[in-house]
Amino acid sequence: MRLGEFDALSFDCYGTLIDWEQGILAELKAWAAPAGLADDAILETFGAEESRCEAATPDKSYPGVLADVYRALGRRWGLPVNEVAPIAFGGSVGRWPAFPDSADALAYLKEHYRLVILSNVDRVSFMRSNAKLQVQFDLVLTAQDIGSYKPDRRNFDRLLAEVGALGVEKPRLLHVAQSLFHDIAPARALGLSTVWVNRRRGKPGGGATPPASGDATPDLEVASLAELAERHRAGTA
């Protein structure tokens, strides 16, 4: 696979461009402290509950899903949950930080590709995150627009349909994501070329991302978006 073979890059946002693990921990750590949980335990339990809630209520907005996740975590950890805290957590996405390399790498890639977002959030949450990314995407598709959450195939079918309407055929689209579970496995099942941005390289476990099912072998693995941009710049991939 050569990066010059593609006309468009579709991105997962949270975990790939936005550091959702740091954002999640910033919101949950103080509350979870009485349970004596390590950071990875918080993230792994979050990931399990998030995927369960998304599958159970695919038509619920992401802030609502996060509120449900917060309540489920309280039950699992035996922690008190008031009426306000789940709603506050549901609205926290806009506070989650961007990875330090995201804005510069996106600015470079924008010079060479159409850029697309395929994200498991709502429009308002993504708008707040996009301000940190400092780039105008050619197309933004959220779970709110589609009515389901990745890894549901409907999200990727919609991606292909919308990108096709822009004149980009499937062989010319490269999907770039951190999550093997949400993105790489379902994209690969549809025959899309993929880049795994392994933001957790060198760390044990999957953090906030559940284990993938099916073939999640990417066409290319990088440790950061900066590395992807540099590979394009150098012509090494």
Q: Which amino acid is at 119?
A: S
Burial class of residue 235, CB neighbours in 10 A (0-12, 13-18, 19+): exposed
Tokens representing residue 34 in the block: 């009485």
Q: Are the C-beta atoms of 232 and 109 separated by less than 8 Å?
A: yes
Could you give the CA distance from residue 177 to residue 57 in angstroms, rounded to a whole number?
23
β-pairing verdict for 114-119 and 220-222: unpaired
By annotation, the residues acting in catalysis are 12
Sheet with 139-142, strands from edge to edge, namely 139-142, 114-119, 8-11, 173-177, 193-197, 220-222
Crossing angle (nearest 10°) for helices 102-110 and 123-133: 90
